[in-house]
């Protein structure tokens, strides 16, 4: 019994020691520099070269480096990471004196809004999420509108009357893509069947798993679908590769103009069009505003009207249906067509 008490005492003592040790000492935020070092950019999973969404943001900072002469510090999220890790990444950037600090992707929604409160003099930006703090700029896009337009293109181009949609993760953001696309297809030709599937129900791996997207596309093609729209970040490269192997099948890209992506060059003849989300414009505008000393504030929405989203025409594959696309664009801008945000 005595041994037990001794052990308990030892454990308590160690715990107490550990706690007191925690309470003292310099914190890492106290020892950071203050001078503005440029732009801090935190990518979502997939990183700078995802040919899609992160890469669009990177184009914005690249442009800012060239035209505004600012420096950029880039960091990338890992799979399965938690809130604590995202908070730390943003804190590291802000503490080191980067301004603005931009989180790419809605995963940073909570952490950006939280960390921003500790750095009131720094402007924070978050792509795809709302701002809940004074010094946070929330940059959101009307993905459903661009998706509607590529839906029109898909409906016009299909020969089998079967088209499909692959989403990376079944969350509210990707559902926006799905809703717009399905509506665009159905409005154009109600007889067309749309097959919808998601890579993952709840894991962010969906934006970082090209192999799974490749398999899913294979199945869809085998079932006779001949136009596939993939909204899944880096995973999209997998389905585009698979689709390019089948003659007469079309892939629709997402976020960036994927026809022009270096990494996808081999498959570009299969890329019908892309629903482009001008993250680069949004990011550039934010950096410029900080540089000019008049930082943006609050929520900024980028829709078809502001050319925040658009449809890519590279390759000329949709030139023949340009009239239909333009007509749909007008109707959306004028408000005649209301594109739903959820399926």
Complete edge-to-edge strand list for the sheet that includes strand 72-76: 72-76, 38-43, 98-103, 124-127, 136-141, 298-302
Q: Are 275 and 252 in contact (CB under 8 A)?
A: yes
DSSP E strand stretches across the chain: 38-43, 72-76, 98-103, 124-127, 136-141, 162-169, 193-200, 227-231, 250-255, 271-277, 298-302, 309-311
Nearer to another protein, 174 or 237 (CB): 174
Residue 128 is a binding residue for another protein (CB under 8 A): yes
Instruction: Write down the H helix ranges in 69-142.
Output: 83-95, 109-118
**Shortest Å distance, C-beta 20 to another protein:** 9
The two tokens of residue 117 are 């409160």
Query: CA dihedral in degrees (287, 289, 294, 295; nearest 10)?
Result: -50
Residue 264 is a binding residue for another protein (CB under 8 A): no
Nearer to another protein, 62 or 170 (CB): 170
Using the contact rule CB under 8 A, the part of the chain among 92-100, 239-247, 259-267, 309-317 near another protein is 92-100
Closest Cα partner for 44 from 94, 81, 88?
81
Residue 221 is a binding residue for another protein (CB under 8 A): no
Residue 28 is a binding residue for another protein (CB under 8 A): yes
Residue 170 is a binding residue for another protein (CB under 8 A): yes
The two tokens of residue 32 are 């950071």
Which residue among 153, 169, 185, 264 contacts another protein (CB under 8 A)? 169
Count residues binding another protein (CB under 8 A). Answer: 45
Q: How many residues does the chain have?
A: 343
Spatial separation of the C-alpha atoms in residues 272 and 123, rounded to whole Å: 38
Nearer to another protein, 145 or 226 (CB): 145
**Shortest Å distance, C-beta 32 to another protein:** 10
Using the contact rule CB under 8 A, the part of the chain among 57-65, 127-135, 260-268, 317-325 near another protein is 127-135
Q: Are 208 and 45 in contact (CB under 8 A)?
A: yes
Map tokens 């950071």 to a residue.
32
Residue 161 is a binding residue for another protein (CB under 8 A): no
Residues 70-89 within binding reach of another protein (CB under 8 A): 73, 75-76, 78-80, 82-85, 88-89
Spatial separation of the C-alpha atoms in residues 216 and 193, rounded to whole Å: 17
Using the contact rule CB under 8 A, the part of the chain among 167-175, 177-185, 285-293, 302-310 near another protein is 167-175
Which residue among 34, 35, 66, 201 contacts another protein (CB under 8 A)? 201
Nearer to another protein, 92 or 135 (CB): 92
Residue 202 is a binding residue for another protein (CB under 8 A): yes
Residues 286-315 within binding reach of another protein (CB under 8 A): none
Which residue among 1, 2, 5, 21 contacts another protein (CB under 8 A)? 21
**Shortest Å distance, C-beta 161 to another protein:** 29
Three-state DSSP class for residue 74: strand
Longest dimension (CA), the chain: 88
Which residue among 35, 69, 120, 172 contacts another protein (CB under 8 A)? 172
Nearer to another protein, 203 or 314 (CB): 203
Using the contact rule CB under 8 A, the part of the chain among 106-114, 147-155, 211-219, 222-230 near another protein is 106-114
Backbone angle region of 224, left / alpha / beta, with phi > 0 → left and psi within -120 to 50 → alpha: left
Map tokens 């929330």 to a residue.
138
Residue 5 is a binding residue for another protein (CB under 8 A): no
Spatial separation of the C-alpha atoms in residues 70 and 39, rounded to whole Å: 7
Note the residues at the interface with another protein (CB under 8 A): 11, 15, 18-19, 21-29, 31, 73, 75-76, 78-80, 82-85, 88-89, 92-93, 96, 106-107, 109-110, 128-130, 169-173, 200-203
């Amino acid at each position: 019994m005595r041994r037990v008490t001794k052990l308990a005492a030892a454990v308590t003592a160690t715990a107490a020691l550990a706690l007191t040790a925690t309470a003292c000492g310099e914190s890492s935020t106290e020892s950071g520099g203050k001078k503005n070092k440029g732009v801090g950019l935190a990518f979502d999973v997939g990183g700078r070269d995802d040919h899609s969404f992160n890469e669009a943001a990177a184009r914005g900072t690249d442009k800012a480096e060239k035209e505004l002469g600012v420096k950029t510090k880039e960091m990338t999220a890992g799979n399965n990471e938690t809130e604590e890790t995202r908070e730390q990444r943003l804190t590291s950037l802000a503490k080191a004196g980067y301004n603005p600090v931009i989180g790419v992707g809605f995963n940073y929604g909570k952490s950006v809004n939280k960390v921003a409160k500790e750095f009131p003099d720094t402007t924070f930006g978050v792509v795809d999420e709302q701002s809940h703090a004074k010094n946070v700029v929330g940059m959101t896009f009307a993905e459903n509108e661009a998706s509607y337009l590529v839906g029109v293109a898909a409906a016009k181009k299909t020969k089998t009357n079967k088209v499909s949609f692959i989403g990376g993760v079944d969350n509210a953001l990707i559902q926006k893509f799905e809703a717009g696309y399905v509506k665009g297809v159905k409005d154009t030709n109600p007889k067309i069947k749309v097959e919808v599937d998601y890579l993952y129900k709840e894991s962010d791996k969906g934006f970082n798993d090209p192999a799974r997207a490749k398999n899913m596309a294979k199945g869809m093609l085998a079932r006779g679908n001949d136009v596939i729209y993939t909204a899944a970040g880096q995973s999209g490269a997998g389905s585009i590769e698979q689709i390019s192997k089948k003659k007469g099948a079309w892939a629709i890209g997402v976020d960036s103009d994927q026809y022009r992506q270096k990494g996808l060059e081999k498959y570009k003849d299969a890329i019908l069009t892309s629903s482009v989300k001008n993250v680069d414009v949004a990011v550039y505008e934010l950096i410029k505003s900080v540089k000019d000393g008049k930082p943006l504030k609050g929520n900024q929405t980028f829709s078809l009207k502001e050319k925040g989203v658009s449809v890519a025409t590279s390759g000329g594959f949709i030139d023949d249906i340009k009239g239909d696309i333009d007509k749909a664009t007008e109707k959306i801008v004028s408000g005649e067509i209301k594109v739903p945000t959820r399926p």
